[in-house]
């Protein structure tokens, strides 16, 4: 069965600094990997996904993520954080034979002015 780990409950960065939110996964075979963002009292919104090909994936709002097969990781990154990036971020994985998607526990990102 597939699973996802987000090792940090909380990440704090200063505005303008680069940010990284970590994610590692476990799946049999090749994974489909996703990042979602959740703002207060809202549903999850899709940010980006890795399916195949280039290991660096670009998504919405200037976010990108790097797929590393040997380390089974899919870390979310942004070169320059904004206060408005403060939210809860979820990593998710689906293997190619399943209809469901498994989510990590979430990482709360706080960007301070």
What is the smallest separation between the CB atom of 97 and other proteins, expressed in angstroms? 9
| Range in contact with other proteins (rule: CB under 8 A) among 21-29, 45-53, 65-73, 79-87 | 45-53
Of the candidates 41, 53, 54, 113, which one interacts with other proteins according to CB under 8 A? 41
- 48 in Cβ contact with 57 (< 8 Å): yes
**Coil/strand/helix, residue 61:** helix
From residue 76, alpha-carbon distances to 12, 41, 73, 98 in Å are: 14, 22, 10, 24
* Structural tokens at position 111: 């960007």
| Range in contact with other proteins (rule: CB under 8 A) among 15-23, 66-74, 76-84, 97-105 | 97-105
Residue span 47-76 as binding mask against other proteins, x where in contact by CB under 8 A, dash where not = --x-x-------------------------
Of the candidates 18, 46, 71, 83, which one interacts with other proteins according to CB under 8 A? 46
- Between the two ends of the chain, the Cα-to-Cα distance in Å is 41
The number of C-alpha atoms within 13 Å of 50 and in the hemisphere containing its C-beta is: 27
Residues within the interface to other proteins (CB under 8 A): 4, 6, 9, 32, 34, 36, 41-46, 49, 51, 90, 94, 96, 99-106
């Amino acid at each position: 069965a597939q699973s996802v780990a987000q090792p940090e409950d909380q990440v704090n960065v200063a505005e303008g600094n680069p940010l990284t939110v970590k994610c590692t996964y476990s799946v049999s075979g090749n994974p489909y990997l996703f990042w979602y963002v959740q703002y207060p009292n809202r549903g999850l919104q899709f940010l980006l996904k890795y399916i195949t090909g280039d290991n660096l994936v670009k998504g919405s709002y200037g976010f990108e993520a790097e797929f590393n097969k040997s380390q089974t990781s899919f870390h979310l990154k942004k070169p320059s954080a904004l206060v408005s990036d403060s939210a809860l971020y979820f990593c998710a994985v689906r293997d190619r034979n399943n209809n469901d998607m498994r989510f990590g526990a979430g990482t709360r990102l706080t960007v301070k002015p």
